[in-house]
C-alpha cells in the first residue's frame, strides 16, 4: 500500500495544496515552508495518539493568508491510498472508502474542520466548529478509531529526546522486547537467576559496613518520628522479583562500560531508531497493526552523515519491497528479515542532501513558497521517466548532487570543466550562485533528457538552464542541433523540430533555456581573453616539446588559426576538470563566452 495523493486546503502554509506521491515520501524544502505542518496534517488523519482536543484546531492552524477572515472557512486534509488490493486486511480497512474501484483500488480518507453542520448563520468562534473524519467521497461515512489504531502514523519528531524515551519505561521501545523475555525464560531459568541475584545481593548488602549505614539511617528515622512511624530500611541492589529485575535491565554501550545516558546524542538516536524498527516488526507480527506510516522529522538531527545515509536507506529500502515480494517460501531478499518489509512506508522531512541523495527517486516531494505566501508541492512520483532514466538519475544523485532538490535554480552542464568555470564566470558577472540558491550540476556527458524531465514543467518545476556544446564533427555536421531538438521535444512537445534548421532550433532552444556554443567549451574560451591563461597553464603543467610550444604561441597570437582538436588533445593530458580549475581564477566578465553569460543572466532573472 502507499499514499498516492495528499490534498490540503486552508491549513497552515497550505492554501490549496495537492501533490501526488510515490511509495515512500521524502519531503524536502526550505525552513518554514511547512514540512512539519505537512506531517501534522497526516497526523490529523492517521495518528492514534492525537487526542480529540488535538483534532480541534485553533485559529493559528488556518492558512495565514486568510488574515482576519478565518472564521467561517473550512480546513480540509485528504489522503488517497492505493495498491492495497492484494491484502484482504487492508481492503477490509479501506474498501468502504473507495473513490475508484480500479484496479488498482483507490480509497480516500478526509479530515475536515468546519463550522458545525447544524449551525445557522456564521460561526461566532471556534466553539461553533466541529471536525469530521470520513472516508470515500461523502462526509456521511465516518472513519473509526480502529483504522488509526491498526494503520497508524508513528511520528518521531525532530527535537525528540531519545534518551528520555528510552528511560521512560512505559514509552520505551525497549519495553516490549524485555516483556517478551519474561515469557521465554523457563521456570528453572527464572529460579536460577533469582538465586544468583540474591546471592550477589547478599554478598554486598550483608557486609557489616553496609549494614551499619542502613542502621544509621534507621536510627535517624526513629529519632525523627519515633519507633511507631519509622519504617525499617535496608540497603540492597534490586527488588528480587523476576519481572522487576528484567525491567531493571538497561542498555549499555561500549562493551557494557557506559549506560545509554552517557552516550552521545548520535548514538542514543541510533539506538532509538534500531529499537523503533524492531518495535514495528513486532507490532506487525503480533497482529496489532496491519501497516505503519513511519514519519521521521529531520532525521539528520544528531547523526553523522554516513550514518544518516545507512540508517535511512534501511528504512526506505525495507519499505520499497513490494507487497508481492514478501513471500515466506522464498529466500528472503537482502535485509528483508524485517517483518515490516512491505508493511510500512517511511515519510521523512529533511533539509539534508545526504538523506535526499539516498531517497528513492520517485519519493521526493518538494515544498516551496509561492508568490502569495502559500506553499505548493511538486513531486517526482509521476514524472514521465522511463526505467533507464530513473536508474540514470538515481545513480547520478549522490551526496553532492542531492542539493539539486534544495536549489532554486539549476545550471546543467556537460562535465567538470563547466562545473568549475561557470561559477567563476558567475562571480565575475556579479551573479552569486550560492546566495541565489543556484546549483551547477554536471550530467557527465550529454544525456540531458532525464534531468530536463526531472526539473522541467512536468517535473519539479525548478528553473534551469542547459549549457551544451555544438559538437561539430569532422564531416562538418554537428551533434548539438539534434540534442537541442530532443530537449525541445520534452519542454514543448508537438512541434516539428526536425523540419527546422539549426539556427531556428538554437533560437528556440535559447528561449527555453538551452544555450549552445559554436563548437566545444575550450575553443570557445580560447576565443576570449582567457586564452592567455590557458596557454600559460598548458606550458606550466605539461612537459611540452618545442614544436607544441610554438604551436601554442602561434594560436595565441592569431586565434583564428586555432585547431580545436589539437588544443583539446593537449588539455586532456592535464584533464579537462583540472585544467578548468587552473584557469578559473582568470575568469572576468569580459572574458565570459557569450552563451555562458546568456545562460547565467537568464537563470539569475528566473530565480529572482
Partner 1 sequence: MRLRSSSAAYLRHAGDLADNPGQQAAYDSQGHCVVLAGPGSGKTKTLILKLARMLAEDVRVPQGVACITYSQECARELKRRLEPLGLGEAQNLFVGTVHGFCLRHILMPYAHLADIGLPRRLAVATNRQADVAFKVVAERLFGLNQPHKRDDMGRYRRVHLDREAPDWEADPDLARISEGYEATLRRQGLIDYDDMVVCAHRLVSAHDWVLPAIAARWPILAVDEYQDLGVPLHRIVTRLAFEGGVRLFAVGDADQSVYGFAGSDGDLLLELAERHDIQRVRLELNYRCAGRIIEASEYALGETRGYRPYDEERLAVIRFVERPGGLADQAAYVIDTLIPEALAAKDERKLGDIAILYRNAAVGNAFADALMAAGIDFVRVDTGAPYRKVELTSWIEDCAGWCSGGWRRGRPQLDGLLTRWVRFRTSLSSEREANKAKNLVTAFLMRNRRDDGPAAPFVAAIRRDLVDPLAREEPSLHDQMEQVHRMGAAVTAGGKLEGLDLVGLGGRDGSPSHINLLTLHSSKGCEYDVVMMVGMDQGVIPWNNESGAELRESRRLFYVGLTRARDAVHLIYSGWIDGRYGPRTFGRSSFVEELETRLLAAGQE
Which residues of the shown chain bind partner 1 in the complex (CB under 8 A)?
52, 85, 88-93, 95-103, 105, 116-118, 130-132, 136-142, 144, 146-147, 150, 179, 286-288
Q: Cell triple for residue 328?
A: 515466506
Cβ-contact 541, 493 below 8 angstroms? no
Smallest distance from the beta carbon of 180 to partner 1, in angstroms? 9
CB 130 to partner 1: min, Å: 5
Give the three cell numbers for residue 382: 509521476
Cell 539569475 belongs to 604
What DSSP element (H or E) covers 348?
Answer: strand 344-350
Task: Compute the distance between CA of residue 309 and CA of residue 523 in angstroms, rounded to an integer.
Answer: 41
The smaller minimum CB distance to partner 1, of residues 131 and 193, is found at 131
Q: Is the bond preceding residue 79 a cis peptide, omega within 30 degrees?
A: no
Question: Would you say 52 or 590 has its CB closer to partner 1?
Answer: 52
Q: Which is nearer to partner 1, 142 or 199 (CB)?
A: 142
Q: How far is the CB of 87 from partner 1 (least distance, A)?
A: 8
Widest pairwise Cα distance in the chain: 112
Q: What element of type H or E holds 440?
A: strand 438-442
Closest CA to 12 of 77, 72, 102: 77
The helix (run of H) or strand (run of E) holding residue 357 is helix 353-358
Cα gap 395→130, rounded to integer Å: 48
Which candidate, 280, 247, 251, 249, places its Cα nearest to that of 268?
251
Q: Which is nearer to partner 1, 89 or 164 (CB)?
A: 89
Rounded least distance, CB 284 to partner 1, Å? 12
Q: What is the dihedral of CA 336, 338, 339, 340, to 10 degrees?
A: -90
DSSP string, 182-200: HHHS-HHHHHHHHHHHHHH
CB nearer partner 1, residue 115 or residue 513:
115
- Residue whose CB is less far from partner 1, 91 or 167: 91
CB of 19 vs partner 1, minimal distance in Å? 24
Q: Shortest distance, CB of residue 111 to partner 1, whole angstroms?
A: 12
Element (H, E) at 80: strand 75-82
Q: Nearer to partner 1 by C-beta: 49 or 386?
A: 49
Residue 383 DSSP SS3: coil
CB nearer to partner 1: pick between 66 and 178: 178
Q: Which residues contact 219 (CB under 8 A, 6 or more apart)?
A: none
Cell numbers found for residue 445: 556527458
Q: Which residues contact 364 (CB under 8 A, 6 or more apart)?
A: 26, 28, 356, 379, 380, 405, 460
Q: Closest approach of Cβ 69 to partner 1, in Å? A: 24
End-to-end CA distance of the chain: give it in Å, rounded: 40
Q: Which C-beta is closer to partner 1: that of 146 or that of 168?
A: 146
Smallest gap, in angstroms, from Cβ of residue 103 to partner 1? Answer: 7
| Smallest separation, CB 137 to partner 1 (Å) | 7
In the bound state with partner 1, the residue whose beta carbon lies nearer, of 124 and 566, is: 124
Q: How far is the CB of 136 from partner 1 (least distance, A)?
A: 7
Amino acid at each position: 500500500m502507499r499514499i498516492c495523493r495528499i490534498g490540503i486546503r486552508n491549513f497552515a502554509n497550505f492554501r490549496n495544496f495537492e501533490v501526488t506521491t510515490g511509495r515512500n515520501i521524502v519531503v524536502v524544502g526550505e525552513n518554514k515552508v511547512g514540512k512539519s505542518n505537512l506531517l501534522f496534517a497526516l497526523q490529523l488523519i492517521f495518528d492514534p495518539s492525537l487526542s480529540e482536543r488535538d483534532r480541534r484546531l485553533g485559529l493559528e492552524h488556518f492558512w495565514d493568508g486568510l488574515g482576519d477572515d478565518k472564521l467561517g472557512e473550512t480546513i480540509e486534509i485528504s489522503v488517497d491510498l492505493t495498491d492495497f488490493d492484494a491484502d484482504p486486511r487492508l481492503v477490509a480497512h479501506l474498501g468502504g472508502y473507495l473513490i475508484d474501484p480500479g484496479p488498482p483500488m483507490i480509497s480516500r480518507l478526509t479530515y475536515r474542520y468546519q463550522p458545525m453542520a447544524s449551525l445557522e448563520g456564521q460561526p461566532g468562534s471556534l466553539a461553533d466548529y466541529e471536525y469530521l473524519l470520513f472516508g470515500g467521497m461523502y462526509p456521511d461515512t465516518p472513519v473509526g478509531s480502529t483504522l488509526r489504531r491498526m494503520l497508524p502514523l508513528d511520528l518521531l519528531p525532530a527535537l525528540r529526546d531519545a534518551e528520555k524515551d528510552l528511560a521512560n519505561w512505559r514509552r520505551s521501545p525497549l519495553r516490549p522486547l524485555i516483556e517478551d523475555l519474561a515469557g521465554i525464560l523457563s521456570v528453572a531459568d527464572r529460579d536460577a537467576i533469582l538465586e544468583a541475584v540474591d546471592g550477589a545481593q547478599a554478598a554486598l548488602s550483608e557486609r557489616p559496613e553496609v549494614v551499619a549505614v542502613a542502621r544509621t539511617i534507621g536510627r535517624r528515622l526513629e529519632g525523627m518520628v519515633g519507633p511507631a512511624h519509622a519504617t525499617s530500611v535496608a540497603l540492597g541492589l534490586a527488588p528480587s522479583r523476576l519481572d522487576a529485575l528484567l525491567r531493571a535491565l538497561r542498555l549499555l554501550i561500549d562493551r557494557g562500560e557506559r549506560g545509554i545516558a552517557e552516550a552521545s546524542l548520535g548514538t542514543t538516536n541510533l539506538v532509538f531508531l534500531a529499537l523503533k524498527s524492531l518495535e514495528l516488526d513486532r507490532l506487525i507480527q503480533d497482529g496489532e497493526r496491519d501497516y505503519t506510516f513511519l514519519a521521521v522529522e529531520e532525521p539528520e538531527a544528531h547523526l553523522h552523515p554516513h550514518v544518516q545515509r545507512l540508517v535511512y536507506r534501511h528504512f526506505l529500502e525495507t519499505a520499497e519491497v513490494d507487497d508481492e515480494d514478501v513471500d515466506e517460501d522464498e529466500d528472503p531478499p537482502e535485509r528483508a528479515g524485517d517483518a515490516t518489509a512491505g508493511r510500512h512506508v517511511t515519510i521523512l522531512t529533511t533539509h539534508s542532501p545526504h538523506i535526499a541523495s539516498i531517497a528513492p527517486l520517485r519519493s521526493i516531494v518538494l515544498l516551496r513558497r509561492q508568490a502569495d505566501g502559500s506553499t505548493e508541492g511538486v513531486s517526482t512520483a509521476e514524472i514521465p521517466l522511463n526505467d533507464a532514466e530513473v536508474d540514470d538519475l538515481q545513480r547520478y544523485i549522490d551526496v553532492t548532487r542531492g542539493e539539486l532538490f534544495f536549489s532554486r535554480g539549476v545550471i546543467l552542464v556537460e562535465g567538470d570543466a563547466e562545473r568549475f568555470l561557470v561559477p567563476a564566470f558567475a562571480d565575475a558577472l556579479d551573479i552569486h550562485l550560492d546566495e541565489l540558491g543556484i546549483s551547477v550540476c554536471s550530467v557527465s556527458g550529454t544525456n540531458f533528457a532525464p534531468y530536463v524531465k526531472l526539473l522541467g514543467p512536468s517535473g519539479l518545476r525548478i528553473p534551469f538552464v542547459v549549457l551544451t556544446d555544438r559538437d561539430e564533427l569532422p564531416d562538418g555536421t554537428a551533434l548539438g542541433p539534434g540534442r537541442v531538438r530532443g530537449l525541445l521535444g520534452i519542454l514543448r512537445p508537438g512541434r516539428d523540430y526536425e523540419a527546422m534548421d539549426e539556427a531556428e532550433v538554437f533560437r528556440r532552444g535559447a528561449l527555453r533555456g538551452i544555450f549552445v556554443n559554436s563548437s566545444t567549451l575550450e575553443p570557445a574560451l580560447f576565443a576570449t581573453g582567457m586564452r592567455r591563461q590557458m596557454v600559460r597553464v598548458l606550458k606550466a603543467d605539461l612537459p611540452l616539446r618545442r614544436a607544441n610550444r610554438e604551436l601554442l604561441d602561434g594560436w595565441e597570437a592569431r586565434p583564428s588559426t586555432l585547431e580545436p582538436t589539437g588544443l583539446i588533445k593537449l588539455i586532456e593530458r592535464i584533464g579537462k576538470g583540472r585544467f578548468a580549475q587552473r584557469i578559473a581564477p582568470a575568469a572576468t566578465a569580459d572574458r565570459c563566452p557569450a552563451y555562458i553569460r546568456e545562460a547565467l543572466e537568464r537563470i539569475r532573472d528566473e530565480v529572482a
